[in-house]
Amino acid sequence: MNFLITGAAGFLGSALANHLVQQGHQVRGLDDLSAGDRAALSPEVLFTRGDVRDRPKLWTLLQDVDCVYHLAARVSVPESVLYPREYNDVNVGGTVALMEALRDVGVRRVVLASSGAVYGHQPTQPLHEDMMPHPHSPYAVSKLAAEHYVRTIGELWGIETVVLRVFNAYGPGQHLPPAHPPVIPNFLYQALHNGTLVVHGDGSQTRDYVFIDDVVDALTAAATAPQAAGEIINVGSGQEISVRELVALVLKTTGSRAEVVYNPRAAGGVLRMRADLTRAAQVLNYHPKTDLATGLRLTLQTDPRFRQHTPSP
């Protein structure tokens, strides 16, 4: 098949692109490199540097494409609180521009990487796709708006749409920006460098951490699964772990005695997150394979930034 991946040089995009070319598919990648790293992509990926809102560029890239993965986005919840307009411009404006181009060129299917963050606070767990979303950050609002645009424009123009609500993905190659780093690579880095693991809130908040290979499995299935068209589907591990437990696991796995600081005055975000995977199993035959302890070990073993600092077992 012929694919276009927006945000191809990012953490999820590069893992997906490299997997698809390995399977023998033709893959075009678009990324403005604002956060992504072109070096993460295998040479077989046909890469173009550019903005996802650049419609003429999209028209060219979309010729003969069977399925588009839309992953280009600004992705930090705390950063979105500071710059909501930018998050709206890229995450919502970029999605609308892409959908217009899909309509113009006539592409069969689009898969949107949305987020478990759209659920916000909910009275019960696990989080099911039919629950009413209550987004709590500009990032989450932008992902929910993107979902609505993809589905609405898709319905109007006969484009098949699949929305994947990805929970907290982690694994080798995840970016570690100095401001607002994602929690797992940041904790691993601090643990290996005898730094400080800073926990926002009291650490009782829970998250559903899903290993990159499992996310790639779900994304791959979403391109062709016949029943996926028109669906919103959770992609997580189905397991819930508190940030306090995560800290203990990171320290154990790295053999580190790094300092842990709790910052109770900082908001810990949404209290609980666990994905209900019933629909993912039914529609995508998705069954996550890697538990958190294994995923952390694989990340330490395969990510060059961590490997050289990891003590041998």
Query: Rule CB under 6 A: is residue 150 a binding residue for ligand NAD?
Result: no
Q: Tell me which of 4, 12, 163, 275 binds ligand NAD, using CB under 6 A.
A: 12
- Roughly how many angstroms between the first and final C-alpha of the chain, as a whole number? 42
Give dist(CA 87, CA 81) in Å, integer: 9
Q: Tell me which of 34, 224, 227, 263 binds ligand NAD, using CB under 6 A.
A: 34
Give dist(CA 298, CA 15) in Å, integer: 15
- With CB under 6 A as the contact rule, which of the stretches 130-138, 149-157, 165-173, 273-281 interacts with ligand NAD? 165-173
State the Cα angle at 220 between 63 and 108, rounded to 5°. 35
- With CB under 6 A as the contact rule, which of the stretches 69-77, 99-107, 128-136, 149-157 interacts with ligand NAD? 69-77
Give dist(CA 244, CA 172) in Å, integer: 22
How many positions of this chain bind ligand NAD (CB under 6 A)? Answer: 28
Q: Tell me which of 21, 28, 45, 51 binds ligand NAD, using CB under 6 A.
A: 51
Shortest gap between Cβ of 301 and ligand NAD (angstroms)?
20
Q: Tell me which of 4, 27, 71, 141 binds ligand NAD, using CB under 6 A.
A: 71
Query: Rule CB under 6 A: is residue 169 a binding residue for ligand NAD?
Result: yes
Which residues contact residue 205 at a Cβ distance below 8 angstroms, ignoring those fewer than 6 apart? Answer: 242, 243, 268, 269, 270, 271, 272
Please tell me whether residue 59 adopts helix, strand or coil conformation.
Answer: helix
Query: Rule CB under 6 A: is residue 9 a binding residue for ligand NAD?
Result: yes
CB 279, CB 234: distance < 8 Å: yes
Q: How far is CA 43 from the centre of its chain?
A: 23
Length of the chain counted residue by residue: 313
Query: Rule CB under 6 A: is residue 31 a binding residue for ligand NAD?
Result: yes
Q: Tell me which of 29, 32, 151, 241 binds ligand NAD, using CB under 6 A.
A: 32
Shortest gap between Cβ of 113 and ligand NAD (angstroms)?
3
Query: Rule CB under 6 A: is residue 16 a binding residue for ligand NAD?
Result: no
Which DSSP letter does residue 108 get? Answer: S
Query: Rule CB under 6 A: is residue 35 a binding residue for ligand NAD?
Result: yes
Give dist(CA 165, CA 163) in Å, integer: 6
Q: Tell me which of 94, 133, 154, 236 binds ligand NAD, using CB under 6 A.
A: 94
CB 137, CB 187: distance < 8 Å: no
CB 136, CB 118: distance < 8 Å: no
Q: Tell me which of 18, 115, 254, 299 binds ligand NAD, using CB under 6 A.
A: 115
Q: How far is CA 230 from the centre of its chain?
A: 20
Residue closer to ligand NAD (CB basis): 108 or 180: 180
- Active site includes 170? no
Please tell me whether residue 70 adopts helix, strand or coil conformation.
Answer: strand
Token pair recorded at residue 131: 């629950």
Whole-Å CA distances, 24 to 17, 31, 176, 202, 226: 11, 22, 30, 47, 21
Q: Which of 69, 119, 139, 149 is catalytic?
A: 139
Residue closer to ligand NAD (CB basis): 10 or 238: 10
Residue closer to ligand NAD (CB basis): 9 or 232: 9
Q: Tell me which of 67, 75, 184, 277 binds ligand NAD, using CB under 6 A.
A: 75
Active site residues: 139
Contacts with ligand NAD by CB under 6 A lie at 7, 9-13, 31-36, 51-52, 71-75, 90, 94, 113, 115, 143, 166, 168-169, 175
